[in-house]
Structure 1
Amino acid sequence: MSETSKQNVSVVGLARENVQQLTPYQSARRLGGNGDVWLNANEYALAPHFELTAQTFNRYPECQPKDVVRRYAAYAGVQPEQVLVCRGADESIELLIRAFCEPGKDAILYCPPTYGMYSVSAETFGVEGRTVMAKEDWQLDLPAIEQALDGVKLVYVCSPNNPTGNLINPEDIRSLLETTRGKAVVAVDEAYIEFCPQATVAGWLKDYPHLAILRTLSKAFALAGLRCGFTLANSELIDVLMKVIAPYPLSTPVADIAAQALSEQGLALMRKRVAEVSETREWLRQQLEQCDCVEQVFTSESNYLLARFTASSSVFKTLWDQGIILRDQNKQPGLSGCLRITIGTRQECQRVIDALRPLPGATSTVRETSSASKEPM
């Protein structure tokens, strides 16, 4: 190859083949939009206020900030040695794959429709992403999962599930843990557990050494911009993850704010937010059910609602044009016609309802089509 040819070779060609073919996760911020009502990322609508207390920015931070670990352990009802703090639950997803899956050999398993980062993270590391479709009620298909476990090292279960909002039957999770004992790690993603704390499986850690639980401060704690998450597991599993985590995963300001958010006052504020969001979610559900263009609103135990719409693409664009940004779920298996709506402020949710009310439903659409067909050519 001539020197000129070498200079013209794209650097993309040097990337790993699986990375060249990778479609990155389409986060809310990557998808963009010019709205003023952002209901597409399951964030809390209002920013909490914090003052930094730590000023030691000239020093590297602790790998596992003691105050954060201790306070989160107390909050979650586990021991400090059962807590790993990291850069959001997304890093927990990646750490588990890096620690337990051999690229080109092992697989992860997850059950669509569910959170998209499981597949993207696996593909990034050259690990097979194996799927077993959830049942029609979005519960686990346990017989199908059991048949698909050959070569699987890691199973992801999201409960409450994103984007559907439903809890996974706890007895099904327990059955899965029994089936995978000695074979694979089961990671239960509890990013939204603050909205249904009674459903956590944190109390099961003593019974299952292969159970990992993913948590975050991004949702109920209103700290999506902080990027702080947790893995709860037995100390043996935590020790494995400590081998592959970055040396300084949390910056000093992040650890400072996280510790404040986990104080008694911070926890009280979080619970107040949860009560407010839950009340607004119920109000929005009732209002959506009165809109002609809404075919179904699904039960949710989280900070969002999934709904099926008549002409959902048109609904999505109509709201987009009015500055109301929702999350389109049409491409998810089994979610044709579905949009996900984050629970914002009451005023933001009222904007949604005001924009939806004039839109026609399935009956109106059929009637208009029928009338049009009778007109002379």
Structure 2
Amino acid sequence: MSKFLPDYIDKLTAYSSAKSEKLTGTTWLNANENPYAQNITLSIDDLNRYPEPQPEAVIQRYAQYAKVETNQVLMTRGADEGIELLIRTFCESAKDSIAIFLPTYGMYKVSAQSHNIAINALSQESLQTSTISELASQIGDSKLVFICNPNNPTGALVTTKRLENLSDALPDNTILVVDEAYIEFCSEYDNSQLINTRKNVVILRTLSKAFALAGLRCGFTLAPTTILSAMKKVLAPYPVSSVVASIAKNALGNDSISSMRRQVVILNKLKQELIDWLKTSSHVSQVLSGEGNFVTLKLKNKQSMQVSSEMGLIMRPFTLFDSQHWLRISIGNNTELDQVKTWLESLNKIQSSKR
């Protein structure tokens, strides 16, 4: 195939999602999905017609939800398409770079490399502790700066004030992209209003997490109108199907939003219970304190992951900070998290039997 492929595609390592591997199990806590399935009723009789390129009713409801103007909202196929559009629109192949802070969401890197855009790989530690002037120097002339906030997989947060200061310190031709896929789980850190006070800030959002619609593939890009106008030049003619638009519209109704927020309260409470279990476990050496609908931890023994797989409990292993002992657990419902507790208890029994 190398005869047909550009060199940078031939060398590209594809993103490995939580659903990429053909795993078998009974309890799925590996993809940061919401455990509360939506009850959806569809009545669509015009699928022979092309959909609205940007469904007006959905845009209006999301703008109201995010407290921005309708002309500041772009609906996309998941937030992933927003990432792709930003890179395609603002980065020149084989010339520009994007800045990311590792460890973080892997699609920033894959999307950039697929367009022959260089990666300016900085660290989460630098993002959290460097001075603004040091950060700006490290970012240099990167065209896009991606900050997952809260960060996946560490859960770390960057304050609004720090984002504002970084935005002000960046070159005039650099865009700060704040990916808020998990923001509903810590809504007090919502940065959507930055698009009104800063001309170089973009916010990425999704219905996949708190709204429990991961299978819908529906996202939103919030940005100043000048940025969205440029992105629309490279946007597919009909990016959102009528089915997706219909479900998204219902999900953004007042009653549905209220239900989502109640579920977030429940999930945050369950998350704290999980953290308490993990911190008292002799098999866990570190638990990262962060936001989002997941907990990331470091195991003392990597073989503990094999035990969970044999039980049918599927969680997400990671290589972080030069160690393969890291594991991310999505917050499931009570029954699913009871399986995590059972797993921890089984590790105790295995440990005792070896003594």
Aligned pairs for 1:164-183 (under 5 A) are: 164-183=154-173
- Residue 7 of structure 1: aligned partner: none
Flag the structure with more relative contact order, 1 or 2, with Cα contacts below 8 A and sequence separation at least 6. Answer: 2
Aligned sequence identity (%): 38
Q: Shift of the alpha carbon at 1:150?
A: 3.2
Give the corresponding residue for 2:49.
59
Residues 259, 81 of structure 1: CA spacing in aligned structure 2 closer, same or farther, 3 A cutoff? Answer: same
Residue 348 of structure 1, aligned match among 318, 325, 336: 336
> How do 1:353-368 residues align onto structure 2 when only pairs under 5 Å count?
353-359=341-347
Task: Report if the CA contact (8 A) 1:107-1:129 is conserved.
Answer: yes
Name structure 2 gaps, 5 residues minimum. Answer: none
Q: 2:210 aligns with which of 217, 220, 242?
A: 220
Judging changes above 3 Å, is the alpha-carbon distance between structure 1 residues 335 and 78 closer, same or farther for their aligned structure 2 residues? Answer: farther
- DSSP 3-state at the match of 2:243: helix
Q: Give the structure 2 partner of residue 234 of structure 1.
A: 224
Alignment partners' CA distance in 1, 2:270 and 2:236 = 39
Give the alignment of 1:256-335 within 5 angstroms: 256-311=246-301, 313-330=302-319, 332-333=320-321
Q: How far 1:143 sits from its partner (Å)? A: 4.5
Q: Secondary structure at the match of 2:193?
A: helix
Deviations 1:278-330 (A, max 9, x none): 1110111111122110122221221000111101x211111011111111112
Using the alignment, how far apart are the partners of 2:139 and 2:297 within structure 1? 32
Task: Give the letter for the 1:31 counterpart.
Answer: E
TM-score where L is the length of structure 1: 0.89
Shift of 1:358: 3.5
Give, as a single letter, the amino acid of the residue that structure 1 aligns with 2:200: H
2:234 equivalent among 223, 228, 244: 244
Which of 157, 170, 181 is 2:147 aligned to?
157
Task: Name the CA distance, whole Å, in 2 between partners of 1:360 and 1:115.
Answer: 33
Q: Would the aligned equivalents of 2:318 and 2:325 in 1 still touch at CA under 8 Å? A: yes
> SS at the partner of 2:35?
coil
Please state how far the C-alpha of 1:173 moved relative to its aligned partner.
Answer: 1.3
Distance 1:76 1:335 in 2: 38
Deviation at residue 357 of structure 1 after TM alignment:
2.3
SS at match of 1:161: coil
1:206 aligns with: 196
TM-score (norm. length: structure 2): 0.95
| Alpha carbons 2:73, 2:222 under 8 Å: kept | yes
What is the alpha-carbon distance in structure 2 between the residues aligned to residue 295 and residue 360 of structure 1? 15
Describe the SS at the equivalent of 2:119.
strand
Structure 1 or 2, whichever has the larger Rg, is 1
| Structure 1 range deviating more: 349-358 or 236-245 | 349-358
SS at match of 2:144: strand
2:159/2:189 contact within 8 Å kept: no
* 1:321-367, Cα deviation, whole Å (9 max, x unpaired): 1111111112x336652210000111111111111124269xx79xx
Q: Which residue of 2 aligns with 1:338?
A: 326
Cα distance in 1 between the residues matched to 2:318 and 2:96: 29
8 Å Cα contact 2:318/2:327 also seen in 1: yes
The residue number in structure 2 matching 1:131 is 121
Structure 1 residue identity aligned to 2:10: Q
SS in 2 for 1:13: coil
Return the offset for 1:59. Answer: 0.3
Q: Could you tell me which of 187, 197, 213 is aligned with 2:187?
A: 197
8 Å contact 2:44–2:243 — kept in the other structure? yes
Equivalent in 103, 115, 119 of residue 109 of structure 2: 119
CA distance in 2 between partners of 1:279 and 1:30 (Å)? 30
1:328 is paired with a residue of what secondary structure?
A: strand
The aligned counterpart of 2:5 is 15
Instruction: State the one-letter code of the partner of 2:239.
Output: P
Report how far residue 12 of structure 1 moved.
4.7
CA distance in structure 2 between the partners assigned to 1:134 and 1:194 by the alignment: 22
Matched letter for residue 128 of structure 2? Q
Is 159-168 or 144-153 further displaced after alignment? 144-153
In 2, Cα distance between the equivalents of 1:108 and 1:195?
Answer: 27
3-state SS in 2 of match to 1:338: strand
- Report the AA paired with residue 326 of structure 2: C
CA contact (8 A) 1:140 1:168 kept: no
